[in-house]
Amino acid sequence: MKIFSVLALALSVAACATSPGQTSREDPYEDFNRSMLEFNLAVDDAVLEPASQAYTAVTPRWGRDRVADFFGNLGEPVTFVNDVLQGEPDRAAETGIRFVVNSTVGLAGIFDVMRFGGMEGHDEDFGQTLAVWGVDSGPYLVMPLLGSTNPRDLVGFGVDRAMSPTNYVVYSGDDDEDLAIRSGMVILNGLNARSRAQTAIETLREQPEPYIALRRTYTSQRDAEIRNGQTDPNAYQDLPDFDDF
Amino acid sequence: MAHFIKTIAIAAGVALATGFSAAADQASENYVRVNANAALDTLNNPELDADDRRAEFQALMNRFTDLERVSRFVIGRYARTFSDAEFESYLTAYSRYGLATYEAELDKYRGEEIEVTGSTDRNDSDSVVETVVRRASGDLPVRWRVLKMDDGNYQVVDVALEIDGNLLWLAIEQRAQFIAILDRSNGDAQELINTINGMTARLEARAVAQRTDASNAIPGATPQSGR
């Protein structure tokens, strides 16, 4: 499959480069991607949005915030590892402190007490780590259910999932029961995340070209995340001329 | 995932860093400071009814932005392929869409102020003015692309929102979407006009609903907190 050959190509880029890998603006799989976006929006329409609305109806905002804090805390070990892999000791220390304090004082992460105390969290993932190591993104992709990505981020997603401690925690000792608990957590996290994205998804649907809007925003936002939220120092250099048309 | 979804939401909601060099063109900064705050003053003026506010806002926007230049920019090369009649129809639709956007979205900024924090000259006639909208929910960095015209006047041609380090220039984003529509319809002007009119109709319906909600509200009632 083309996707896997592109993926292999993306990962074969020399990882010794010192500058972050480029994010491709090319879109050779546009037809496939548009079909997948259409599919994802149809699934959202038929299943995710109604489920999210039902969840929102029975879960007050306070409760949804606690669920978000809880799952955010569970993601901190992955962020920590990626901070280390990116050679960011200060950010790694910050993540480590947040995880320890929120897991204890914050009652297993239900309360992000460190944010209340002024230390905001940040997200790092293996896709960003690959970019910091100099791996180019490869072309834009939309995957079924997963949504916007690219070969670099797709690999990163798999690595992050594999290294997440939640996969290895033994809850009851019974494999079937543990699988049910893990599945329940995935569903709860997904429902909660979907409920928080309601306005954004409505806005996306209202765009004149939702596919283009999503592709451009995903690409530029990933670049910003790789820069750890710093604006591009050359942001004004490539602005187009308004007199050409 | 959450970051870029949030970016879309905030960018479209406004619809309408800073390691750069310090203030370069004082006149551009003054232009943005005076006119952006005048627009907010229009929103904040309790003596204006909805129709007056709309008329005043439209006049202000006509002075503040070079709508025809922007309308040409957002269709790129198709500005040269549209017939005069098609371009006129498109410009009419685009102007109406612009006003509907302001009406539907800018009310959210009632009571707020814009503070100029710096600027960068790209060249003698092209500057980016950096501002912050002071909001109760948190500051929103906004940048304005200001061109100096041949007659010495200034015009705003684009606005950028900075969200978590991501600069989104609204005209540039709109251009990408409009050109995609035209590319996929073999440059059919009517296809784009219909799309724009559809967006305008949705915005106008939303504005009507907001006015209805406002007129149904009990005077003096305490607003609900939270979103």
Q: Strands B126-134, A147-149: parallel, antiparallel or unpaired by DSSP?
A: unpaired
| Sign of the torsion angle spanned by Cα atoms A87, A72, A36, B189 | negative
Give the closest-approach CA distance of A150 to chain B in angstroms.
Answer: 13
Q: What is the pLDDT of residue B214?
A: 67
The phi and psi torsions of A237 (rounded to 5 degrees) equal -65, -35
Q: How confident is the model at residue B115 (pLDDT cuts 50, 70, 90)?
A: very high
Handedness of CA B226, A109, A161, A63 (dihedral sign): negative
d(CA A226, CA A127): 9
Q: Which of B164, B114, B123 is nearest to B143 (CA)?
A: B114
List the structure tokens of A154. Answer: 């797709």
Which residues in A have their CB inside 8 Å of a CB on B?
Answer: 61, 123, 147-148, 193, 196-197, 199-201, 203-204, 206-209, 211-214, 216-218, 220-225, 227-233, 235-236, 239-240, 242-243, 245
B121-128 own/partner pairs: CB under 8 Å, 24+ apart: B121/B24, B121/B25, B121/B28, B122/A236, B122/A239, B124/B148, B125/B149, B127/B24, B127/B25, B127/B28, B128/A236, B128/A239, B128/B20, B128/B160
Does domain B2-215 bear CATH number 3.10.450.710?
yes
From residue A103, alpha-carbon distances to A73, A98, B220 in Å are 7, 8, 44
What three-state secondary structure class fits A205?
A: helix
pLDDT tens digits for range B6-58: 444 444 444 333 223 334 468 889 899 888 888 888 877 778 887 888 788 78
Chain B nearest C-alpha distance from A195 (Å): 11
Q: Are strands A141-143 and B113-123 parallel, antiparallel or unpaired?
A: unpaired
Under 8 Å between Cβ of B131 and B144: yes
* Alpha-carbon distance B224 to nearest alpha carbon in chain A (angstroms): 14
Residue A64, amino acid: R
Of residues B74 and B34, more confidently modeled: B74
From edge to edge, which strands make up the β-sheet containing B166-169?
B113-123, B126-134, B140-148, B154-163, B166-169
Q: Any idea what the Cα angle at residue B116 is, between residues B113 and B117, rounded to 5°?
A: 125
* Encoded amino acid at A126, one letter: F
How much is the pLDDT for A49? Answer: 97
b/e per residue B105-116 (b: at least 16 CB within 10 A):
bbeebeebebeb
In chain B, domain spans: 2-215
Residues 6+ apart with CB under 8 A from B184: none
Structure tokens at B163: 């969200």
* B195/A230 CB distance under 8 A: no
Selected residue of A145, A217, A219, A227 to mutate for chain B interface (largest B Cβ count, 10 A): A217
User: How crowded is residue A227: how many other Cβ atoms within 10 Å of its Cβ?
Assistant: 18
A117 by DSSP, 3-state: which? Answer: coil
State the Cα–Cα distance between residues B77 and A73, nearest whole angstrom. 49
Write down the pLDDT at residue B36: 84
Q: Sort out which chain B residues have CB atoms less than 8 A from A48's CB and list them.
A: none
Which of B122, B107, B119, B93 has its CA nearest to residue B39? Answer: B107
Q: B7 vs A217: CB contact, 8 Å cut-off? A: yes
Contact criterion met (CB below 8 Å) for B4 and A218: yes
pLDDT at site A11:
32
Chain B residues with beta carbon closer than 8 angstroms to that of A216: 173, 176
CA distances from B178 to B1, B52, B182 (A): 25, 32, 6
Minimal CA–CA distance to A125: which of A146, A153, A147? Answer: A153
Interchain CB contacts (distance < 8 Å): A and B: 124
In our burial notation (b when 16+ CB lie closer than 10 A, e otherwise), range A17-46 reads eeebbebbeebebbeebbebbeebbeebee
Q: What is the pLDDT along chain A (245 residues), one digit of tens a residue?
A: 333 333 333 333 333 334 567 666 679 999 999 999 999 999 999 999 999 999 999 999 999 999 999 999 999 999 999 999 999 999 999 999 999 999 999 999 999 999 999 999 999 999 999 999 999 999 999 999 999 999 999 999 999 999 998 888 888 888 899 999 999 999 999 999 999 999 999 999 999 999 999 999 999 999 999 999 999 988 998 899 887 66
